Structure 1
Amino acid sequence: MKLVNTSVKRPVGVIMIVLAVIALGIVSVRSLTIDLFPKIDLPIAVVATSYQDAAPQEIENLISRPIESSVSSVEGIETVQSQSQSGTSLVMMMFNNGVDLDQALLDVRENIDQAKGFLPQGAGEPRIMRFNPDQLPVMWVGLTGEDAAALTDVADDQIVPFFERQGGVASVSIEGAKEREIQLILNQAALQQYGVTPQTIIQSLNSTNQSSSGGVVEKGNKDLELRVTGEFESIEAIEQTIIQTGTGATVHVEDVASVEDTYKEPTSLTLVNGEPSVVLSIMKKTDSNTVEVANNIKEGMDEIKGELPGDVNLDTIIDTSEFVQMSVDSVVKNILIGGAISVFILLLFLKSIRATIVIGVSIPIAIISTFTLLYFTGETLNVLTLGGLALGLGMMVDSSIVILENIYSYRKRGYNLVESAIKGASELAPAVIASTTTTLVVFLPIVYVEGIASDMFTPLALAVSFSLITALVVAVTLVPMLSSKLLSKAMEDEEKGRRYWFNRLLERVKSAYKRVLKGVLRFRKTTVFGTIFAIAGSLALTPLIGAEFIPSSDQGQIEIRVETAPGSSLAHTESIVEKVNTSLGDYDEEIETSYVSVGGGGFVGMGGSGNQATYTMQLVPANDRDQTTTEMVQQMDQDFQDIAGAEITVSATDSGMNMGSPVQIQLNGPQHEVLNEVADQVISQISTVDGVYNPESGASDGVPQLTITVDQEKAAVYGLNEEQIRSQIQLQFTGQMATQYREEGQEMDVTLLYPEDERSTISDLQDMKVQSQSGAVIPLEEVAEFKEMQGPVTLTRENQQPQLNVSSDVVDRDLASVVADIETELEELNMPEGYSYTIGGQAQDMAESFSDLALALVFSIFLVYAVMAIQFENFLFPFIIMFSMPATVVGVMLGLFVTGLPLSIPAFIGIIMLAGIVVNNSIVLVDYINILRRNGMDRYEAILEAGQSRLRPILMTTLTTVLAMVPLALALGQGAEMQQPLAVTIIFGLTISSMFTLLLIPVVYTFFDDLTRKVVNRKKKEA
C-alpha cells in the first residue's frame, strides 16, 4: 500500500505528525469538561403557575386543565402531566426523542399566551422552562451562626454575589433565610371607630409611596426634569401616612395599626448536622466543568472566610465533584493497570523490548488522539468515555500485532529491514483494515437507538471508535516505520527465544491445539452438535441471570423523607426530626454531613409542606465503611420503625444519573378518589413480592380543611358578593401585601395583618366581621356555612385524565424478575371499570432500551457481514466467519451467571461490541487458510498450518484485549460499577468465542467447502 511505503521511506514526516497530534491532544484534555456521566438530553418542558390560596381542586379546574388543553396540540408532545396543589400548578410536557425543543418551547409559549385569557383573575404569570439535569446543584454550602437574620444578610450581601462571580457558576440559591417584612397589625376597634377599611389603607399607602416625572422646565439654556418624590424613606414615614376616612376626616396609619419591622413567619427550617443554618445551593453553567466549578468554590470559600464575622462559619455540606473526581481517577487508574498488563503480555510473547516498544507506542498515541477527537465532537470526559478508552485499550494493539507478526516473518525469511516492513505491512493492511472496520460498524446503528440508551451508548461508541481508528492509522504507518529502524536484531532474538521458557510453553500449546484440531475435524458433526448444545444450555441460564436497567453506583448519598400527619405544624414536624437526629447518632462514624430541610422542598415553584422534612446525607467514602449504602438504608429503615407519629422513608440517591423509581405503576381513571383506593390495593398486593422495598403511593392523606360556602342570596341582601367576602377572609387570615419599602437598596414587603389572636381559631372565623360597601358590619356566619372535611394535597393528571403513581425500590433481586412477579400479582387485581394500569419507571425505560438495542444488534450483525463480503469479495467466507458469533452467547451468559451480574444496558452494549470483535480472529484464520490453499496446499494441511500459524497472534490479541479489561471487570475504585457488566461481557464472550473460533470455524469451513464442491460438480455434470 502506498501509505505504508511512504511512512517507511519518510520517517521524519511521520514523527512530526505524531508529535503534532500529541501536542494537540494534551491541549484538548486540559480543555475537556469533566463530569460523572454524559449529558442527558431530556426533551421536557415545564409550565409553572401560581394562584394564591386556591385549593388543589380549584387549581386543577381553573389552571391545570386550561393549560393542558392549550399545550396538547403542540407538535411532538408524547405525554402531558400535571400536578395541582394548594396555590400552584405544574404542567410537564415530555416530547418525542428528536424533537427540536427550542422550536417546541416557542410553540408552547404561543399556546400559553392564547390560554391566558381563560385563567382566573389573580393567577400568576405562567413560567415556561426547559428541564435540564444540569440545573441540579453541584455543591451545597452551609452558613451557621447564632443569629439567622444576620446569616441571611451575610449570605445576600457577601457570599452569594461572591460565589456567582466564580468561574462556571450559573446561580446560587438560598434556603433557610429569614426575609425581612414591615407588618401593619390592624386594630379592629380603631378601624370601626374611624370608619376605615383595610382597602382604604392599601390605597393610601400605594398612592403615597410613589415617585413620578412631572415634565420639564427651562432654566436659562438648560431643561430641568421635574420629579415628584414620595417614596417612604423611613418606618416613621409609613406610620405617618395620611388616610382619608369616609366622612372626610384624616387619620394616620399609626392610629389604626401598629407598624412592626420584623421578619416573615418561617415556612421552612434548615438544619446542618443538627444546627439551624442557611444553606446555599450552587448551580453550574451547562457547559462548565463540575470538578473545576467545585474547586473554584472551595478556593473562594478559603478567600472569603477571612471577611466573615467571627461567629459565622462557612462549610461544605455536599460536594458532588468528589465522587466525580474519585470515579474518573479510578477509571484512569484502571486504564493504566490495563495498559501495563497489555505491555507485559506483548513483552511475554515478543521476547523483545524493541518489538514491544514498536507496538506499545500505539497505546498512548491512540489515547491522546482520542482526547482531541472527543473535544472537537463536544463530548465530556466522564466514566463512560474513559471506560470506552479502557475497553478499547487491549484492542488498540491488535492491528499492530498482526502487522508486526507479518513483518517479523518476512525478516526471518531473509528480507532486509525496509523490504520486510513494506511487504509485511502492505500484505496484511487490507485484512487489518477490514477487521477494524467490522469492530467500528457495529456502532453505526446507534442512530436507531433513542433515549437514555443512546445518551450512554454514543459517548462510549465514539471513544472506542476514535481510539481504534487512531490505532489503525498507527499500525499501517508508524509500526512499519519503527520496524524498519528497530528490528535489526530479529534473528538474534529468535535464536535466544528458542531457549525462552514461554516460547517452549507456546510450542506445547501449539502441539496440543493441533491434536485437538485434528480431533474436531475427524468428528465434525459431534463438534457442531456440541456447540449447539452449549449455546442452548447457556440460554437456559437466562431466568437465573435476570435483568436491570443501569447498574447503581455506591455514591454514599442517602435521602430520608419524614412525613407527619397532614396539616401538622412546622414545630411538630421539627420535633419528629429531632427524634430522627437522635437515632442517626448511631451512624456518626459513617455520616460525613447531614442536611435536613423541614417544610421546604418543592420543584420550580411547587411549595413544600409543613408536615414534611427531607434529609440529604453524604456518607464517608465506600472504602472507609463496612456497609454499602443499600445495607445502611435497610438498617436505618429498621431503626426508624420505632419512631411514632410519622411515616419515614429511607432511600439511596444517585446524584449523577437519576433514573427515577425502579418500579412505577401508573394508575389511570376518571376519579381521583377511586384512584386512591386502587393505589392502596396495589400497595397491599405488591408488598408480598420478594424484592419490593418501600412501596408508596403518590397520594398523600387528605389535609384537614374547613370549607366555607357563601350563601349568595343572604350575601346579596347585605350588598355583598362571593368575591368580596373571599378577599376579606384572605386578608384576615393570610394578610395582604400593600406596597414595598426600600431601604439601602433592599426591597421588603409592607403587609397588612390582623393580630394573631384574631386569626387562630374556628371561633375567630365564625365571629369575623364582614364589611359591606355601605359600611354595615355583619358576622361571617350570617352569610356562610362551615363544614370540616379532608382535602387532597396534590392532584395529578396525565394526558388530561386523572392519574396516580405507585412507586417502589428494588433490593436483593434484579428488576426484571421483580417486575414479572408484580405483573402476575396485578393480574389478580380486580380493577374497577374504566381504570387501568401501566408499568413505568426504570422498568419501562429498560424494556424500551433493550428493544432499541436489540434492533441495533441485528443491524450491526448485518453490517459486519456486509463489510466482510466486500473484503473477501465473496458471500460464502463471511458466512463461515459469522459462525463465531453464536458461540459468543455461551461466554456472555456464563460470565454474567458466574459474576452474579444481571443483564443491563452496559452488558447489552458489550454484546453489540462483541459482534464486531469476535469475527476478527476468524477473519485472520480464514484469510490465511485461503492464502495457503491458493499457494497449492491441501485443504486439510492448510487448516492445520493456518491454525498453528495464527494461534500465536490470536492468543496475543485476545489476551491483550481480555486482560486489559480485568481491572474494569473487578470494579476497582469508585464509580466502576457502570463498566463492570460491559467488561465482564467482553472478557467471557471474547474468551469463549476465541476457543470456538480456533475449533469450530475450521469445521464449518470444511462443511461449506464440501457443499461448494458438490454444487460446482453438479453444475459441471449438467453442463
Structure 2
Amino acid sequence: MNELIEDSKGPLSWFARNHVAANLLMLLIMVAGFMTLFRIKIEFFPEMSVDIITVTVPYLGASPGEVENGVALRVEEAVAAVDGIKRIRSTSFEGTCMVVIEVEEYADTKDVLDNVKAEVDRIITFPEETEKPIITEITTRHEVLTIVLYGDASERTLKELAEEVRDELTAMDNISQATLAGVRNYEISIEVSEENLRRYGLSFDQVANAVKRSSLDMPGGSVKTRGGEILFRAKGQMYYGGEFEKIVVLTRADGTRILLGDIAKVIDGFEDSDISSRFDGKNAAFVLVYRVGEQGTLDIANTIAKYVKDKQNYLPAGVSIGIWEDNSIFLRSRMNLLKRNALIGLCLVFMCLALFLDLKLAFWTTMGIPISFLGAFWLMPVVDVSLNMISLFAFIMSLGLVVDDAIVVGENIFAYRQRGMEPIPAAIKGVKEMAAPVTMAVLTTVFAFLPLMYTKGIMGKVLKTIPLIVISVLMVSLVEALLILPAHLSVGRVTSKTNSGKRMGAKFHPAVGRMLGAFVNGPFARLAAAAVRLRYVTLACGITIFLSTIGLIVGGYIKFTFFDPVEADNMIALLTMPQGTALEQTSEVVKRIEAAAEQVRRQVDSTRPDQPSIFKHVSTVLGDQPTLRKQGGPMQAGPAGVSAAHLAEVNIELLGAEERGEISSIDMKNQWRDLVGEIPGVSSLTFESEWKSVGEDINVELTHDN
C-alpha cells in the first residue's frame, strides 16, 4: 500500500493520471510547431560572419609589383598593430590589391572593422592614381538563383534589360537584394588629342577642370519670403555623352566658344574591362538574386519563377530570359528527402511495433516522431537556427534516434498491463522504472553531440547547427516519452497473455512471438552462454576486432575524406592563363574547351536517341571565374568586379540525375578533360563536376619577408 502511494507522487505520476494535461501538452507542442514551421526562416545555407575583413584598393594601370610596393605593403604596415587580428594576407593583381584580414575568435569583428578603417584612412602615402579603399566584412551571403537574359542583342540592350529586371524584382515585397553580373559598368570617356590642344592653345588640365566645373549639382542656399522658405539649387550633373559634348571649354574675347565636342571625342560606352558573358552561344547578362533578413528562399524562388514566365512576353524579339543556378532546387530536394524518410520511418516503426506489441502502443510510439520534430521546429527560433541544408541534414540524422526512449517506456507499460495490472498503475510503474535509464540514454547521446557546439573556426559555426537540432529533437522526444505517452497508454484495455487471442492481430502475434522466442531461447541463448563460459576467448575476440579496425585505418585500407564527392548536375572548367595574357588568346583556349564539350554532347546524345540533349545550358564567362569566387571566398578569384583577361570559366548544366539515368557527370567530366588534352601556355585548367567542392587535397602556400 505504501509503495502504491509512493508511486502516485511526482510529475510522472500526475501526467499519467491526468490525460487532459498530457493531451494539452501534446497539442501545445504540435500547434506551436505548426505555427512556427510556416514562419520559420528558410534559406539554402545559414548566414554567418566568417571573421574576415577585406581591404580592396584599385590602382588602375599598375603592374602587380607596383601594386604590392605602392599599396599592399603600406596597408599591411598600417593595420598590423590593430588588436584582434589573427592573420594578414595580401594579393596584388594587375590594377588592384586585396588584403584579407582574419579576426581572432575572441574579438568583435565590428570593432576590428572600425579600427581597420581608421588605420587605412590615416595612410597618406598611397600613389595619386589609387582610388578610395573599399573595406568590408565578409559574410556568407548566398544567392537564391540567377536570372539570365540572353540573345542576339547588343551589350547595352542586355544591360538595360537586366537593370529593368533588377529594379522590378527589388520593388517586390519579398525581394530586397539583386545585383548585375557578367556585364561591364557604364563609362563616359573623353579622348583629347595633343594636336587639338596645341591648335586651341589649351592644356589637358584646362579641359579636365572645365569638365569638373560643368558636371555637378550645387546648392544655392535659401530665401525666406512671406509665403515660406525657397531653396535654390543649381542642377548641372551630366549623365550622357551628348551632354558632355556641349561643355564650354574656352570663351574668347570676340564671344566665340569652343565646346568639348570640338576638340575631343566623347565616347558614351562601357569601361575598359575584359568581362564578357555568353549563354548558349549568345551574348548574356546575369541578375543575381539574394535572400536577406527573414526572407524565404523558396518564397523568392516561386516569385521569380512566375515573374520570369510573365516577363518573356514583354522582351524584345530575339531576347530570352531564364533561370540559372537555382539553389532552391537543392533545398527542395533535401526537404523532400526529409519528408520521405520521415514517412518511411513512421511506417517502419509502426509495422515493427505492431508485429511484436499492441496496435495502440505502436500508434502512440510512432507519434513520437512528428511530436518530436514539431517540438524542435518550435525551438528553432529560440536557438537562432533557420531551416537550411545543414539543419535538414540534422533532422534526417535524428530520425533513427527519436523513438528509442518511447519504445522502451511503452514496452514496459505494455508488459505490466499484460500481467493484469490496472491501466493507470501500470503506466505509473512502467514510466517510473524506465525514467532513469531512458534519461541517461538520451543524455549520453546529447553529450556525444555537445562537443560539436564548441568547435572553433568557420567550420564550427556551420556544425553548430547539427547538435542544436539533434539535442532539441531528443529533449522533446524525452518529454513525450515520460509525460505524454504514459497518459495515452493508461486508458483502454490490453488483455492478458492468456486471453490474447481475442485482440486484433491474434492471427499473427502468436506466430511472431514464437519465432522471436525460438531465436532468443535457441541460437542467441546458446551463443550468450558460450560467450560467458569462454570469457577469455570472448575478450580476445573483442581485442582482435578492435586492433583489426585500427590496423585497417592506419594501413590506409579505410580511406578518410572530409566530404565524400557528390555528383552535381553540372560540369565546370576553370581556366587560368599567365598574368598579362591578352583576352583574344584566352578566348581561343575557351573555344577549344567549348568544342571539346560539344563533342562530348554529341557522343552522349548518340547513345540515347529520341531523348532530350544531355546538355541543358552552357554559360561562358571571360575575365572572371564566378563559380570559384562563390565556393572559395575572396582570395580565390580576386576582388569582385575587377576583370582579368587571363581568367575564364565554362559552366555546363546537365539534365537532372533522374533524367540522365546511369550517365555519370563525373565520367562525362573526365571524358571532357581527355578531349581537351594538354594546352601549352596554360597556368591551370581545372574540371569539376562535384557539388560544393571543399578545396584541393594539398595546398602549398609560400611566404617571404620583404
Could you say which TM-score interval applies, normalised by the shorter chain?
0.7 to 0.9
Which secondary structure state, in structure 1, belongs to the residue aligned with residue 686 of structure 2?
A: strand
Aligned twin of 1:331: 338
DSSP 3-state at the match of 1:280: strand
2:575 aligned partner: 562
**Residues 224, 421 of structure 1: CA spacing in aligned structure 2 closer, same or farther, 3 A cutoff?**
closer
Segments of structure 2 that go 5 or more residues without pairing to the other structure are 1-8, 602-612, 626-636
Counterpart-to-counterpart distance in 2, 1:465 and 1:283: 31
CA shift, 1:620, in A, is 2.0
Seen in structure 2, the aligned counterparts of structure 1 residues 489 and 386 have a Cα distance that, compared at 3 Å, is farther
Residue in 2 that maps onto 1:590: 614
Contact preservation (8 Å) 1:141, 1:279:
yes
The answer to whether the Cα contact below 8 Å between 2:32 and 2:378 also exists between their aligned partners in 1 is yes
Give distance in 1, aligned partners of 2:260 and 2:557.
Answer: 78
Residue 146 of structure 1 aligns to a residue in which SS? coil
SS of match in other structure, 1:632: helix
Task: Tell me what 1:150 maps to.
Answer: 157
Cα 1:267–1:456 shift into 2, 3 Å: closer
The 5 A counterparts of 1:534-549 are 534-542=545-553, 543-549=556-562
2:66 paired residue number: 58
Q: Is residue 112 of structure 1 aligned with residue 112 of structure 2? A: no
Structure 2 counterpart of 1:367, from 349, 373, 387:
373
Q: Which moved more, 1:399-408 or 1:163-172?
A: 163-172
**Equivalent residue for 2:659?**
624
Q: Give the Cα–Cα distance (whole angstroms) in 1 for the partners of residues 387 and 621 of structure 2.
A: 33
- Bigger CA radius of gyration: 1
What is the TM-score of this pair, normalised by structure 2? 0.86
Q: How does 1:636-651 map to 2 (within 5 A)?
A: 636-641=672-677, 649-651=685-687
Q: For residues 558 and 455 of structure 1, do their structure 2 counterparts lie closer, same or farther at Cα, with a shift above 3 Å needed? A: farther
Tell me the equivalent position of 1:843. none
Task: Please report how far the alpha carbon of residue 631 of structure 1 lies from its aligned counterpart in structure 2 after TM superposition.
Answer: 2.5
What is the aligned partner in structure 2 of residue 997 from structure 1? none
In structure 1, distance between residues paired with 2:389 and 2:264: 63
Aligned residue type for 2:290: M
| Counterpart AA for 2:621 | S
Deviations 1:644-689 (A, max 9, x none): 6756623326665x5332321112334xxxxxxxxxxxxxxxxxxx
2:297 aligned residue: 290
Label 1:48 to 1:576 Cα distance change in 2 as closer, same or farther (>3 A). same
Map 1:263-282 onto structure 2 (within 5 A).
263-265=270-272, 267-282=274-289
What SS does the corresponding residue of 2:573 show, helix, strand or coil? strand
Q: Distance in 2 between matches of 1:394 and 1:194?
A: 86
CA contact (8 A) 2:417 2:495 kept: no
C-alpha spacing 1:476/1:93, structure 2 compared with 1 (3 Å): same
Q: SS of 2:202's equivalent? A: coil
For residue 518 of structure 1, what is the aligned residue in structure 2?
Answer: 529
Aligned equivalents of 2:350 and 2:421: distance in 1? Answer: 27
Deviation, 1:318, is: 1.9
Give 1:369 shift: 0.9
Question: SS of 1:556's equivalent?
Answer: strand
Computed over aligned residues only, the root mean square deviation of the Cα atoms, in angstroms, reads 3.0
One of 496, 516, 520 as aligned partner of 1:506: 516
Q: Is the 8 A contact 1:149 1:178 kept in 2?
A: no
Contact 1:359 1:479 in 2 (8 A): yes
CA distance in 2, matches of 1:175, 1:470: 46
Show the 5 A alignment for 1:120-159: 120-136=127-143, 138-156=145-163, 158-159=164-165
Aligned partners of 1:107, 1:585: CA distance in 2, in Å? 52
The residue aligned with 1:607 is 642
Deviations 1:765-807, CA, capped at 9 Å, x for gaps: xxxxxxxxxxxxxxxxxxxxxxxxxxxxxxxxxxxx6xxxxxx
Q: C-alpha separation between the residues in 1 aligned to 2:657 and 2:508? A: 49
Amino acid at match of 1:200: Q
Matched residues in 2 for 1:401 and 1:225: separation? Answer: 78
Check conservation: 2:594, 2:650, Cα contact below 8 A: no
Residue 296 of structure 1, CA deviation: 2.1
Q: Closer, same or farther in 2 for the Cα pair 1:402/1:257, shift >3 Å?
A: closer
Gaps of 5+ in 1: 671-800, 802-1023
In 2 relative to 1, CA 367–234 (structure 1 residues): closer, same or farther, beyond 3 Å? closer
- The superposition leaves residues 364-413 of structure 1 with CA deviations (integer Å, 9 ceiling, x where unpaired) of 11111111112322212234433333333233222222222222232233
Q: Identify the match of residue 313 of structure 1 among 281, 300, 320.
A: 320
- 1:635 corresponds to: 671
Counterparts of 1:180-259 in structure 2 under 5 Å?
Answer: 181-214=187-220, 227=233, 238-244=244-250, 251-259=258-266
Identity level (%): 21
- Structure 1: distance between partners of 2:655 and 2:111: 45
Deviation, structure 1 residue 25 = 0.6
Per the alignment, in what secondary structure is the counterpart of residue 50 of structure 2? coil
TM-score by length of 1: 0.61
> Does the 8 Å contact 2:144/2:301 carry over to 1?
no
CA contact (8 A) 1:29 1:375 kept: no
The answer to which structure has the higher helix fraction is: 1
Which whole-Å CA distance do the structure 2 matches of 1:240 and 1:397 have between them? Answer: 79
Structure 1 residues 96 and 262, CA, compared in 2 at 3 Å: closer, same or farther? closer
Task: For 1:87, give the aligned amino acid.
Answer: G
- Give the 3-state SS of the residue equivalent to 1:473 in structure 2: helix
Q: Number of matched residues?
A: 667
Report whether the alignment pairs 1:473 with 2:479: yes
The AA in structure 2 aligned to 1:503 is G
Does the 8 Å CA contact 1:50/1:123 hold for their aligned counterparts? Answer: yes
| Deviation sequence 1:422-465 (CA, Å, 0-9, x none) | 12222222222222222222233335422354334322222221
Alpha carbons of structure 1 residues 502 and 215: separation in structure 2 relative to 1, 3 Å: closer
| 1:504 counterpart letter in structure 2 | R
CA distance in 2, matches of 1:494, 1:98: 67
Residues 197 and 634 of structure 1: is their aligned pair in 2 closer, same or farther, counting only changes over 3 Å?
same
Cα offset, 1:550, TM superposition: 2.0
Distance 1:239 1:396 in 2: 74
Alignment of 1:751-900 (within 5 A): none
Q: 1:627 to 1:71 in 2, by over 3 A?
A: farther
* Conservation of the 8 A alpha-carbon contact between 1:594 and 1:616: yes
Contact 2:567 2:689 in 1 (8 A): no
Where 2:289 maps in the other structure, the secondary structure is: strand
TM superposition shift of 1:627: 3.5
Measure the CA separation in 2 of the matches of 1:358 and 1:332.
19
**CA deviation after TM superposition for structure 1 residue 179, in Å:** 5.2
Instruction: Tell me which residue corresponds to 2:175.
Output: 169
The alpha-carbon distance between structure 1 residues 443 and 418, as it changes in their structure 2 partners (threshold 3 A), is: same
Give the corresponding residue for 1:17.
25
In 1, Cα distance between the equivalents of 2:22 and 2:134?
A: 58
Higher relative contact order (CA 8 A, sep 6+): 1
Give the one of 349, 354, 361 matched to 1:355: 361
Note the C-alpha offset of 1:60.
Answer: 0.7
Query: Aligned in 2, Cα 1:476/1:142: closer, same or farther, shift over 3 Å?
Result: same
Within the candidate set 80, 84, 91, 1:76 is matched to: 84
Structure 1 residues 122, 482: closer, same or farther in 2, change over 3 A?
same
Alignment of 1:987-1006 (within 5 A): none
1:48 is aligned to: 56
Equivalent pair of 1:355/1:486 in contact (CA under 8 Å): no
Give me the whole-angstrom Cα distance separating, in 1, the residues matched to 2:53 and 2:330.
Answer: 29
User: Does the residue aligned with 1:525 lie in a helix, a strand or coil?
Assistant: helix
User: What SS does structure 2 have at the residue aligned with 1:545?
Assistant: coil
Residues 1:180 and 1:14: Cα distance change in structure 2 (over 3 Å): closer
Structure 1 pair 448–206 and aligned structure 2 pair: CA distance change class (3 A): closer
- Shift of the 481–110 alpha-carbon distance from structure 1 to 2, 3 Å rule, reads same
Shift of 1:330: 2.0
Work out the CA distance in 2 between the residues paired with 1:440 and 1:234. Answer: 65
Q: How does 1:412-423 map to 2 (within 5 A)?
A: 412-423=418-429
1:198, 1:300 → 2: CA distance?
Answer: 50
Contact 2:188 2:240 in 1 (8 A): no
Q: Distance in 2 between matches of 1:139 and 1:486?
A: 58
Q: Which residue of 2 aligns with 1:674?
A: none
CA contact (8 A) 2:15 2:484 kept: yes
Match of 1:455 among 438, 461, 464: 461
What residue is the counterpart of 1:957 in the other structure?
none
Query: Aligned partners of 1:516 and 1:49: how far apart in 2?
Result: 74
